[in-house]
Amino acid sequence: MLSGLAHEFNNYLGAITGAVELAMDEIPENSQAREDLRVALQAAEKASQMVKQMAAFSPRRNPPSERVDLNQCLRDLAPVVEKLLPVSHTLTLDLEEKPLPIFLPPTFLEQILMNLIINARDAMPEGGTITTRSRIDGGQVVVEVEDQGEGISLETSERVFEPFFSTKGIGKGSGLGLALSRHLAQRVGGSLEVESRISQGSRFFLRLPLCSE
């Protein structure tokens, strides 16, 4: 039901976006009306992304799973993520030397990792280093994403995975990224936790089942 509603809502958003784009073509470049329409277009695009995230919570069959090397996925994703980071931010990889095979839909892994790294970026508005580590812990593969931000209180850390809860302020975040990341991790038998203290940054731990030979 939720995915169906999301589809219908996206159809309406598509009509709004198209109408706004056509209107912008009829308005001079430097007019205030064109700037107002640009803001409306950005809002519609953000709403569309939020609807897609909400739809991902609906119960349905997972996309096809594949056996992938977590370390290689992190290496492949790094250049993409770095384009989203300001010059004041640095991404470093500290990976286990040997391959870390896991079995899951690759799109799930990419979305989780992207959300975690972008969350780390937003936690450091003045800049800093995002460190991503990988290791084996028993029968699990662990990905750790650490930032050098201000950190969060214990009370807040217990709520960061709630849908629509956000510490970024009104209009700066949907509050769905971390909730969706945990949801996707749990759908493939994994987990996502956070460890943080005020003035000491935050560390997120993604745990996924190690794929046996």
What pTM, to 2 d.p., does this model score?
Answer: 0.72
Q: Which CATH superfamily is domain 66-209 in?
A: Histidine kinase-like ATPase, C-terminal domain (3.30.565.10)
The Cα–Cα gap between 187 and 91 comes to: 28
Name the helix (H) or strand (E) containing 178.
Answer: helix 177-187
Q: What mean pLDDT comes out for the span 58-70?
A: 79
Q: What mean pLDDT comes out for the span 47-76?
A: 76
The Cα–Cα gap between 85 and 178 comes to: 18
> Which residue ranges make up each domain of the chain?
2-55, 66-209
Q: Name the band, by pLDDT with cuts 50, 70 and 90, for residue 198.
A: confident
Q: Name the band, by pLDDT with cuts 50, 70 and 90, for residue 180.
A: confident
- Mean pLDDT lowest among 15-29, 77-91, 178-192: 15-29
| pLDDT confidence of residue 195 | 93
Q: Backbone phi, then psi, for 21, in 5-degree steps?
A: -65, -40
Which residue did the predictor score with more confidence, 130 or 10?
130
